[in-house]
Amino acid sequence: MFKDHDVVVLTENLPAYGLVKGDVGTIVDMFKDGQGFLVEFNDSVGRLVAMEPLAQAQVRKLGKHEVLVPRAKAA
């Protein structure tokens, strides 16, 4: 079950938005009875990278013991 402000991990590449599988975002809104979300992706200093509507199948919750790995955003 997802809820607002859950930290989620992208499960597929979204090249049109410069996002790749494994990028971490935050659910900022939910719609379609929890089947879709507006997810915000930020860089390491908090600047908005992308805010995209995603289906539940495109994200998973971030696990308690996962390690975050930084990557440079493609130009």
Whether 67 is in a domain gets the answer: no
Q: What is the CATH number of the domain that holds 23?
A: 2.30.30
Helix (H, G, I), strand (E, B) or coil at 51: strand
The whole-angstrom separation of Cα 48 and Cα 42 is 4
E-strand ranges in the chain read: 7-10, 24-31, 36-42, 48-55, 59-61
How does pLDDT run across 21-52, given as a tens digit for each residue?
999 999 999 997 878 999 999 998 999 999 99
Whether 51 is in a domain gets the answer: yes
How does pLDDT run across 47-70, given as a tens digit for each residue?
999 999 999 999 999 999 999 988
For residue 19, count other CB atoms closer than 10 A to its CB: 22
Domain that holds residue 31: 7-61
Q: Can you tell me the mean pLDDT for 10-18?
A: 93
Whether 72 is in a domain gets the answer: no
State the pLDDT at residue 73.
Answer: 80
In the numeric block, which tokens belong to residue 72? 């440079």
Q: What is the total count of domains within the chain?
A: 1
